[in-house]
Each structure stands twice: as structure tokens, then as C-alpha cells.
Amino acid sequence: MEAKSLDYGPAKKAPSGPVMCIVGRQGSGKSTLNGMLEEQGYRVIELSDLVRKAMPPGASISDFVKEMKERYGDMVLAKWILEEVNASKKRPVITGVKGQAEMDFLRKHLNLVVVAIDIPAQLRMERAIGNTAAPKDHPKSVEQFLRKEESEERMGLPEIIAFADYVIINDGTIEALKSKVLGIIKSVYMLRT
């Protein structure tokens, strides 16, 4: 399997200002936010989208990621994100990072501000399983949901959420979530640039 450009020498000059990174478990509302952020003029860099673009048709995401890490090192996904951030003409917002090692790498190379979206597990499961617009690799049953939860825990997602710069509890409306996130983004870019 071949992926897009995999030449990872020293990174180009990273943006000097803050770069937002939105994290959350499955069904927390990240996908809903991605469209809203793009409408607001941000460049959303979604890790799973980068992986899907790089992998050949019909491949399994988990097998492809495993192969890329074996071939190019454990930080290959974080380097793909960094490459996209550095190439972005718009203000970037990263989403979909689930591994603690990738987050540590990005924090080392960027002025990263992490915003966690959290939500009660039962509500997340109902949203994740009921999302008919989700990609085919998203969970369609309680068993698949629980397997993905365990996988995200092994990668370190709970620790990333616990140590985020901001945590938003998404138990209200979509409009309330958008308002909270935009408020944080505006304050971060005003205060930290």
C-alpha cells in the first residue's frame, strides 16, 4: 500500500500562533463541529480524513495505520497532521487525535491549545450508533461501540481529555455547542497570538 507524500525531514516553520486541537470520544460531537468551523473560515484537519485519503480503496483503516507505523515510524500520523498545518493557508483546527504519543509530538512542534468535548457515555453511544451519515467504519452496534471505546482508552484518549486546556460538556443543543467552541476559539486567538 502506498500513501501520499511520506518524506518527513525537518518540519517547515510551524505557525507561531496557537493551533486549536479538538478532541473527544466517539459520538461527542466533533463531526458536527467540523462543518461549523469550516463555515467560519477555519481549515479543519481531521486525522481520519487524512488516513482515508492516503489509503487504497477497500483497505481497513486499522490495518493501513498499522502498516504505515511499521514502515514510517510511530509518529507518521502526527507528521501528516504537522505537514497539513504547515501547508494551511487558513487558520488550522486539528481534530481526531486519539493517541497520547501523537498529542505529545504535536505539543512539542506547535503552540497547541487542546479543547476536549465530553458527553455522558449513554448519550454518546446513542448518537454514534444512530448516526446514519457516519463513515462505514463507525460503530453500528453496541458491541462495535464498546470495542472502539476500549481501543481509544488503550491509545490514551482519556488522559488527553483529562489534561485538555478546555473541556466542554456537550449535553445540550448543537447551537449551544457551537457557541461554546466559538467563544473559546475567539478568546484563545485573541489572548495567545
Distance CA(71)–CA(130), nearest Å, equals 36
User: If residue 24 lies in a helix (H) or strand (E), which one and from where to where?
Assistant: strand 18-24
| Domain of residue 141, CATH code | 3.40.50.300
Q: Is residue 53 part of a domain?
A: yes
How sure is the predictor about 62, in pLDDT bands with cuts at 50, 70 and 90?
confident
Tally Cβ neighbours within 10 Å of residue 78: 23
Q: Classify residue 89 by its DSSP letter.
A: S
Report yes or no on 40 lying in a domain: yes
Confidence of residue 40 (pLDDT cuts 50, 70, 90): confident
- Domain membership of residue 57 as a residue range: 18-192
Task: Classify residue 1: in a domain, yes or no.
Answer: no
Question: Quick check: 157 pLDDT over 80?
Answer: yes
Instruction: Tell me whether residue 144 is in a domain.
Output: yes
Q: State the distance between the two ends of the chain, measured CA to CA, in whole angstroms.
A: 40
The total domain count for the chain is: 1
Q: How confident is the model over 64-111, as pLDDT tens digits?
A: 988 998 999 889 999 999 999 999 988 899 998 988 889 999 999 999
Residue 12 within any structural domain of the chain: no
Radius of gyration of the chain (CA): 16
SS3 labels along 26-62: CCCCHHHHHHHHHHCCCEEEEHHHHHHHHCCCCCCHH
